[in-house]
Structure 1
């Protein structure tokens, strides 16, 4: 009979070790804990080891680990693996490359691929990496391949930030005297053209395949006028045959009817011609607040269009004009009748005002 293994760490009794083993998710670690419990019960080393599926020397090794680190020492330690070939400074420079994007005149590409970054790192640092390794480094740095948002070349990002920071002051300055002291509702408004030249969207498909979907080639369409108030979770929409001052006036009237009694609406919208036309009829309970030029990203109704196209209006072949109207109305009603979705899509933390 072998000599008892010496366990010098006595902060847990045999009973407490068994309890710890019952709650251990890792089966290998649980067996090691039970082996130590048997040793504390006075069982010889050979029997304790064989009972828990190991040899005596292995048990001795785990005893040493337990004495040094407690229960944590009985779990398998993950190998750190090989270190990165890129230093911290080089990884930071890689991040700067990704943020800045390639220069087509210098790099010959308009977007970074992993193979392009591999070649650029080889040129800069003389470090040879596989393109899969480039992907792992990018993931470690927090980068993913995402769809880009369109940005007008004349967009002024500084003006957009100023608009957000001074939004409350801008609204307060534009509210007419007749609305002073009334609760202010923030509404957003925009229009979208919906028609037979529709959009496609992403679908689940087998890796390596190219799924197909119907795409109409005709040119009939309608205009969907939409507005939403994220604070009250209400929306107002109209489907119209054209976008002009007359149809815009009708939409403003529809929005005015949705504004709470005794309140005044600050309606945020872009600077389209029919939004500033002299013939526009603006209800007394609405004040128009213009967005900076070329700043659709500040208007959450753009996200509503993206949501409806992706979930209700994409991959659709419309039979005729009436079918376009019916399906567009159905899509908007789907959105308007879901208050949580209205708030989720259109809420912006910067769009608040206290008057």
Structure 2
């Protein structure tokens, strides 16, 4: 048997153990620790036992380490089969995914993987399977997401202008106040919670259809809710009707939750009871209406979805009183988690 191959002399056992301590590659770590045993003067058999491998593999590790140092103990990346799509074809795929299908042309209202496979075949003459298309889209950062409803008459330019001009609006409100008055940005909205609750997604075995209770009765209540994401606080009332009187009560509740000495800019939609001339606006509140048909600018909409998905759906309410009780408990649970209000409510255009 030939003599054992010596390790390079610019490392020692301590060096390799320190490298192994900082290494995030489990396989490279195991190889470094095995070679550290040899540097300590122990046998190759002990090194093989430490690494859980044979003597031949230890010899291969020594050769790789002598040739390239610690980097030689890394596994070479597996290139695999080259992609069937080039960069130009990938960009074309992303473009049609972004624009969506034309129902009158493609005869579908949303892209399925099989539709994209057929498009690639007709456009580039490349036969590709659905798994490959899915992998290409995921590598580009795309996922299957639920679409948010958008009013067909929404003015997208008005939405962008509102976000762009918001700092100016805030500065004008600040100029009308006493100097050094802190400004708080609040968002307000209301949601109806009734016996006809929604059914949410749930974990179940593939191929089955899980069941959940669904009531058909019509008793309901309204949650008037508002949040200040910067402080992680909220103000809400559970009321039987949604009208100007209810809005007046909610404004008084918001006013009581504004920090002492501060002024609240309450952003809300242009519902009739929000803009009514009969409202008596508290002195520490200024109402700022959103552009028409733009609920996506109001994070309280996302708050309602979170509460429904986690606390209010898949239920059978026995009475109006139970609806009020559960809504109160849900809002209390929310306000006990200020970080959740911040996570859902903070918007770059409003808080930058």
- TM-score past 0.5 threshold: yes
Distance 2:2 2:35 in 1: 15
Partner SS state of residue 120, structure 1: helix
What secondary structure is seen at the aligned counterpart in 2 of 1:224? Answer: strand
In the alignment, the residues of structure 1 paired with residue 29 and residue 343 of structure 2 have an alpha-carbon distance, to the nearest angstrom, of 45
1:215-260 deviation per Cα after TM superposition (whole angstroms, max 9, x unaligned): 1111111111111112232211111111111111111111112222
The 8 Å contact of residues 214 and 316 in structure 2, kept in 1 or not, is answered as yes
In the aligned structure 1, how far is the partner of 2:260 from the partner of 2:40?
78
The answer for the alignment partner of 1:204 in structure 2 is 203
Secondary structure of 1:194's match? strand
Cα distance in 1, alignment partners of residues 47 and 327 from structure 2 = 72
Which one is further off, 95-104 or 81-90? 95-104
Describe the superposition over 1:15-41 as per-residue Cα deviations: whole angstroms up to 9, x where unpaired: 458747975764687468747975996
Question: Which whole-Å deviations, capped at 9, do the CAs of 1:160-194 have from their partners, x for residues lacking one?
Answer: 22211211211333568455652222111001011
1:215 aligns with 214
Aligned to 1:85: 84
Map of 2:165 onto structure 1: 166
Q: CA RMSD in A?
A: 3.0
Equivalent residue number for residue 190 of structure 2 = 191
Deviation at 1:325, TM superposition (A): 1.6
Cα distance change of structure 1 residues 217 and 19 upon mapping to structure 2, 3 Å threshold: same
Q: Deviations over 1:102-130 (max 9, x none)?
A: 11111111111111111111111111111
Cα distance in 2, alignment partners of residues 54 and 205 from structure 1: 45
- Whether the 8 Å CA contact 1:17–1:33 is kept in 2: the answer is no
- Worse-matched range after superposition: 238-247 or 70-79: 70-79
3-state SS of the aligned residue for 1:350? helix
Maintained 8 Å contact 2:166/2:350:
yes
**What is the CA deviation profile of residues 313-342 of structure 1, one whole-angstrom value per residue up to 9, with x for unaligned ones?**
010111122221221222122223332222
Q: Report if the CA contact (8 A) 1:226-1:235 is conserved.
A: yes
Structure 2, unaligned stretches of length 5 or more?
A: none
**Are residue 317 (structure 1) and residue 316 (structure 2) matched?**
yes
> 1:20-70 deviations in whole A, cap 9, x for unaligned?
797576468746874797599698x9x8998885466x6665554333322
Relative to the length of structure 1, the TM-score reads: 0.86
User: Residues 221 and 36 of structure 1: is their aligned pair in 2 closer, same or farther, counting only changes over 3 Å?
Assistant: closer
Q: Which residue is 1:271 aligned to? A: 270
Residues 183 and 27 from structure 1, CA distance in 2 versus in 1: closer, same or farther, beyond 3 angstroms? closer
**Judging changes above 3 Å, is the alpha-carbon distance between structure 1 residues 17 and 153 closer, same or farther for their aligned structure 2 residues?**
same
Q: How much has 1:84 moved relative to structure 2?
A: 0.5
**What is the aligned partner in structure 2 of residue 5 from structure 1?**
5
TM-score normalised by L of structure 2: 0.87
Pick the structure with greater CA Rg: 1
Q: Runs (4+) of structure 1 moved beyond 6 Å?
A: 39-43, 47-52
| Gap change, CA 1:35 and 1:176, over 3 Å in 2 | closer
Once structures 1 and 2 are overlaid, which stretch shifts more, 229-238 or 286-295? 229-238
How many pairs align?
348
Residue pair 2:17, 2:32 contacting (<8 A) in 1 also: no
- Aligned 1:1-355 pairs, distance under 5 A: 1-5=1-5, 9-13=8-12, 15=13, 19=17, 26=26, 30=30, 34=34, 38=38, 53-54=53-54, 62-174=61-173, 177=176, 181-352=180-351
